[in-house]
Amino acid sequence: MVNHYKVKRELIILVISIFLAIGLIQFIPFSYAQINGDPISISSSIRFNEYSEVEGIKENNSEVNIQLAEGNWTVTNIKINFSDISLASEVRTIEDSETGLDLVINKNPSFRTFALGTQLEIFELTELFGVFIKGYKTPQASETIQFQIQGYNDGVHTPNNTIYRSIDLNISLNLDWYYQDFSSDPIMLSVGNYSLVMNGTSLPLSADAKYYWQMDHLEPQFPFLHTSSYKTSWSTGIVNTSFLYKLNQSVDRSYFPSDLNMTAEINGDNYEIINGSILGTGSLEIADIDYFVEETNLHIPIKINESLTLGFNYYYSINLTNEFTTNSFVKIEESKNYWSIFPIINRIFQNYSVQIVIPQNWYNFTISRKLSGSWENVTSLVNIDMINKFINIPNDTIEDGAEWKIEANSPNINLNIQMTNSVWKRGDELEFSVNAPVTQGNITFIIIKPIGKAELIQTKKSVSGLNFFSFEIPSNWTEGSYIGKIYWNNETDVGVQSETFQITISPLAPTPINIPILVATVSLIIIGITILSAGSYLAARNYRRKIIEKQEKIYTNCIDILNLDYLMVTDKNSGLNVYTQNFSGKEIDAALISGFLQAIHSFGIEMMKVEDRSQTIKLEYRDSIVLMSEFVNLRLILLMKEAPSRTFLFSLEDLAYDVYKNYGDQIDSFNGDVNPFKGIEELLKRHLNITFISPLKIAKIEKLAKIRINQNERLLINQAVNLMKTRYQDHFFVRDLLSGEECSPKDIETILKLIDKKIFQLL
């Protein structure tokens, strides 16, 4: 017979146990990241165009050279007016067709020619720099004879006794053109006739010493010019015979550009210079040229006929433009958004202005300028064109040394959140959709808890149309009202929308005590089995989750440290570096970076918060992420390829605290000696595991023989040895052991074990 009191007592004990088990499950702690406030800070780049006009006058030039205050500007328009266009020098050919030779020789008193002369006719005031003659001499002609410019006897057409210039004859053994150079003392010849003379009257008697001057005695270009020779006296000049010569000269004459085929070469293209209204003037105008100038000198060669050297004066006026970007920052609200821009505007050239391209949806602009003291509203002094979407800051508004601030609003982009339910239970999959704009952007999903804490859930690239989100509600979340908040953003627009939902805790239905004992017992057994099964399932799921979380943590830590390129520790007050570590192998100007961030920090821009005790600022520059974390009197600055995980940010804060604890006093008394701070490297190993990006070596073979090594470890050791042999190096890097720099948790755990066993050691 069944003892009903005993069964009833056991039944009560079982029921109490079940409720205790349920209660314990409810209060098992669940770790989840918490952050204060909205976990989103958006910055973007706004495009600026700066414009300038440069003008001036230059005299006595043969090319155009315009000095710019700085390089890397684009020339958009060029205007150049030329005046006093003349020839600095030209080569004027008198005779270059050869039919015979004549010579200077001193053979004997009966057969000798001491000198040769030819008529030089000058039609306008001419400056003579030199004369080209064609000829040669014999090897025995070692004596020095003279080449002269003499006067001219119009009666007998011979040289007279007046010598204007006399130089040693420049000639050699090969028949060629030889230049007789008077440029050290040029000769100014007025209109009239002169003589060019090869004078060998001082030669000693020699049958073999001969000096030849080529001539055209058949059809000279100027048949009326006279030539003569000197034996005991000058023979009467004859025509239809001319010695070969060319004049290097300059004449006082102005030209139209078309007379000389004047062109300007710009960026490989030739542009015709147009004739002016009077002789000696011309102009060049080129619009919309779009010519990028890297150097500070805008060089424009001026081309004319090949044998001429040009001279001119010119006035120039060129228009320049340059493009740069400035970060913009936004304060996000559900009604409208507040944007701020702090551009650096400095006058570079004379007539200088700046144009900002207005994003399509921005409005309500305020432009402020600060020269000293407080900000001054100068919105009325600038041109805001909402139709063509630009702001123009004119030349007379820009002051040297002024700071600028541009503020604007943008509307909130509607996101249309659709939740399948408004009431959820712990463990449910929270599901909803967001209708993102057509423009590509990012979507960030956070949940604000009943106590006001915001938790970042997910950030991802958005696609046009519906974007779906799914999130398993943790089992340790309390009952109450939660807010799901969605942010969408691109470079110039932001949207935010909230949706409130409830999380409830479903109570277990009470087990009736007054049912028949058999039914109650069976029910309790079923409940017990269910609880045990559920407990086993939860335990297995939690175990799997812990394994996955551990692998994800290992993977995240690896990715974070491989992204690290550079680290600096600086004195917060002075901005001076006390410790630097380069992990990229590239040269970096640490002083420039720390100085730049010191200036940026003076704006008080807060990019992200990790905990209440400190803040971390994040900036994006080109292909790098710059992080700056402060603690009391020091500042940590990191350059990374990509944004790190939140775990890395917490590690960064712990590192800052340890650096302060160990070196804070030395930073306060820093005198420029960085040697006391070398121990910071040990703190980096402890907090950031920099071994992953430092050069490593392998322990000696005798040590390896004493350590137990498994198969996976042996494979990685062999791989490292082969790498060093192949590259002829005494070290290797962890990234070289990872396939395509993929952070496999299995490989990473093995590498960490090898480091712990001191098989992989720092070089």
Interatomic CA distance for residues 528 and 533, integer angstroms = 8
Q: Is the pLDDT of residue 669 over 90?
A: no
Q: Which of 329, 600, 322, 323 is nearest to 491 (CA)?
A: 329
The CATH topology of domain 97-243 is: Jelly Rolls (2.60.120)
Residue tagged 């003008």 (tokens): 55
Q: How confident is the model at residue 329 (pLDDT cuts 50, 70, 90)?
A: confident
Q: What is the pLDDT of residues 471-496, one digit of tens each?
A: 888 988 999 999 988 888 888 888 88
Q: Give, in words, the CATH class of 413-504.
A: mainly beta
- Quickly state the pLDDT bin for 529 (edges 50, 70, 90): low
* 566-575, 590-599, 729-738, range with the lowest pLDDT: 590-599
Q: Which of 23-37, 387-401, 552-566, 724-738 has the lowest mean pLDDT?
A: 23-37
CA-nearest of 457, 453, 449, 460 to 429 is 457
How high is the pLDDT of residue 542? Answer: 57
Q: Output phi, psi for 726, to 5 deg.
A: -60, -40
Going by DSSP bridges, is the β-strand pair 423-425/494-504 parallel, antiparallel, or unpaired?
parallel
Residue 533 has pLDDT above 60, yes or no: no
Both tokens of 762, joined, read 């720092």
Structurally, what CATH architecture does the domain formed by 563-687 represent?
2-Layer Sandwich (3.30)
| CB-CB neighbours of 540 under 10 Å | 10
680 neighbors 647 (Cβ within 8 angstroms): no
> What's the CA dihedral at 70, 73, 79, 84 to 10 degrees?
40
Angle at 302 between CA 297 and CA 305, to 5 degrees: 155
Q: Which long-range contacts (CB under 8 A, 24 or more apart) does 737-743 make?
A: 738/558, 741/562, 743/554, 743/555, 743/558, 743/559, 743/562
Q: Do 409 and 336 touch, CB atoms closer than 8 A?
A: yes
What tens digit of pLDDT does each residue of 272-296 get? 999 999 999 999 999 999 999 999 8
661 phi, psi to nearest 5 deg = -60, -40
Domain range annotation of the chain: 4-28+523-557, 50-89+254-321, 97-243, 332-409, 413-504, 563-687, 696-762
Separation CA 355–CA 321 (nearest Å):
10
Compute the CA torsion angle 84, 85, 86, 92 (nearest 10 deg). Answer: -170
Q: How far is CA 636 from CA 250, 559, 655, in A?
A: 70, 20, 9
Helices (H), 637-679: 646-668
Query: In the prediction, which pLDDT does 34 show?
Result: 30
CB 754 within 8 A of CB 720: no
How many C-beta neighbours within 10 Å does residue 465 have? 11
Cα–Cα dist 613/91, whole Å: 83
Residue 409 β-bridge partners: 338, 363
In Å, how far are 439, 443, 461, 762 from 464, measured between CA atoms?
A: 7, 11, 10, 49
Could you tell me the two tokens for 417? 């959140």
Q: SS3 of 516, please?
A: coil
Confidence of residue 467 (pLDDT cuts 50, 70, 90): confident
**Token pair listed for 291:** 């010519």
State the pairing for strand pair 126-137/187-189: antiparallel
To which H or E segment does residue 135 belong? strand 126-137
Would you give the distance in Å from CA 137 to the centre of its chain?
63
Cβ-count burial 608-637 (b if 16+ within 10 Å, e if not):
bbbeeebbbbbbeeeebbbbbbbbbebbbb
* Edge-to-edge order in the sheet of strand 624-631: 577-582, 564-571, 634-640, 624-631, 614-621, 608-611
**pLDDT at residue 381 is higher than 70:** yes
The total of other beta-carbon atoms located within 10 Å of residue 224's CB is: 10
Is 513 a residue whose pLDDT tops 60?
no
Q: Is it the case that residue 649 has pLDDT exceeding 70?
A: yes
Helix, strand, coil percentages (3-state) for the chain, rounded to 5, are: 20, 45, 35
Question: Residue 560: exposed, middle, or buried by beta-carbon count in 10 A (0-12, 13-18, 19+)?
Answer: buried
Residues 213 and 115: their CA atoms lie apart, in Å, by: 11
Instruction: Give, in words, the CATH class of 50-89+254-321.
Output: mainly beta
Report the chain's C-alpha Rg in angstroms.
46
Query: H/E element holding 702?
Result: helix 701-704
Q: Is 75 exposed, middle or buried (0-12, 13-18, 19+ CB in 10 A)?
A: buried
- Give, as one character, the DSSP assignment of residue 506: P
Cβ-based burial of 228 (10 A; exposed 0-12, middle 13-18, buried ≥19): buried
Q: Residue 242 in contact with residue 225, Cβ under 8 Å?
A: yes
- CA dihedral for 538, 544, 547, 548, sign (positive or negative): negative
What pLDDT does residue 94 have? 92
Q: Does residue 422 register a pLDDT over 60?
A: yes
Pick 65 or 755 by higher pLDDT: 65
| Residue 551: band (very low, low, confident or very high) from pLDDT cuts 50, 70, 90 | low
Q: Which of 6-20, 577-591, 708-722 has the lowest mean pLDDT?
A: 6-20
* pLDDT given at position 41: 54
Across 365-390, average pLDDT: 91
Q: Across the chain, what does the average pLDDT equal? A: 81
**Residue that wins the pLDDT comparison between 22 and 580:** 580
Separation of first and last alpha carbons in the chain: 82
Tell me the Ramachandran region of residue 500: left when phi exceeds 0, alpha when psi lies from -120 to 50, beta otherwise.
beta
Q: Which of 86, 334, 98, 61 has the alpha carbon at shortest distance from 213?
A: 98
Q: Cβ neighbours of residue 36 under 8 Å, at least 6 residues apart?
A: 453, 454, 609, 611, 612
pLDDT digits (tens, 9 = 90+) for 336-364: 889 988 888 888 777 889 999 888 889 99
Count the Cβ atoms, other than its own, within 10 Å of residue 146: 17
Locate all alpha helices (DSSP H) within 162-315, ordered by sequence.
257-260
How many residues are listed for the chain in this entry? Answer: 763
Question: Is it the case that residue 15 has pLDDT exceeding 90?
Answer: no
| 236-246: pLDDT as tens digits | 999 999 999 99
More confident of the two residues 668 and 558: 668
pLDDT of 127 over the 70 cut: yes
Q: H or E element: which one contains 684? A: helix 680-688
Taking the C-alpha atoms of residue 112 and residue 204, their distance in angstroms, rounded to an integer, is 11
**Fold match flag (50-89+254-321 vs 413-504):** no
Query: Using CA atoms, how far apart are residues 33 and 140, in angstroms rounded to an integer?
Result: 103
Contacts of 116 by beta carbon, 8 Å cutoff, 6+ apart: 102, 103, 104, 197, 198, 213, 227, 228, 229, 230, 243
Q: Is residue 503 over pLDDT 50?
A: yes
